[in-house]
Amino acid sequence: MKHKLEVCLSPALLHLYDTNNCNVVIIDIFRATSTITAALHNGAACVIPVASVEECIVIGNQTPNSITAGERDGKVATGLAYGNSPFEYPADFINGKTLVLTTTNGTKLLHMVKGASNIIIGSFLNLDAVIDFLKKDDKPAILGCAAWKDRFNLEDTLFAGAVASALQQDFNINCDSARAAIHLHEASKGEYLAFLKNSSHYNRLSGYGLIKDLEYCTSTNLHPIVPILKGDKLVAL
Q: Do the domain assignments include residue 172?
A: yes
DSSP result, 64-81: TTEEEEEEETTEEPTT-S
* DSSP-assigned beta bridge partners for residue 101: 49, 69
Percent of the chain whose predicted confidence (pLDDT) is above 70 = 99
Q: How many domains does the chain have?
A: 1
What values do phi and psi take at 201, rounded to 5?
-75, -35
What values do phi and psi take at 7, rounded to 5?
-120, 125
Measured CA angle at 44 (ends 38, 49), to 5 deg: 80
Q: Do the domain assignments include residue 237?
A: no
Confidence label for 103 from pLDDT (cuts 50, 70 and 90): confident
Q: Taking residues 57-86, what's their average pLDDT?
A: 88
Q: Do the domain assignments include residue 218?
A: yes
Q: Do the domain assignments include residue 234?
A: no
Say whether pLDDT at 74 is over 70: no
Confidence label for 121 from pLDDT (cuts 50, 70 and 90): very high
What is the model's pLDDT at position 107? 87
Measured CA angle at 134 (ends 222, 196), to 5 deg: 50
Q: Do the domain assignments include residue 236?
A: no
Q: Taking residues 136-162, what's their average pLDDT?
A: 96
Q: Are 51 and 32 in contact (CB under 8 A)?
A: no
Range of the domain at 177: 5-229
Complete edge-to-edge strand list for the sheet that includes strand 75-76: 5-8, 141-145, 23-27, 118-122, 227-230, 233-236, 46-49, 98-102, 66-72, 75-76
Report d(CA 227, CA 21) in Å as an integer.
18
Average pLDDT, the chain: 95
Report d(CA 60, CA 70) in Å as an integer.
12
What is the model's pLDDT at position 117? 98
Q: Which residue did the predictor score with more confidence, 75 or 13?
A: 13
Say whether pLDDT at 72 is over 80: no
Q: What count of residues does the chain have?
A: 237
| 24: CATH | 3.90.1560.10
Question: What is the pTM assigned to this prediction?
Answer: 0.96
Q: Do the domain assignments include residue 147?
A: yes
Q: Do the domain assignments include residue 235?
A: no
Q: Do the domain assignments include residue 29?
A: yes
The per-residue pLDDT for range 183-232, each reduced to its tens digit, is 999 999 999 999 999 999 899 888 888 999 999 999 999 999 999 999 99
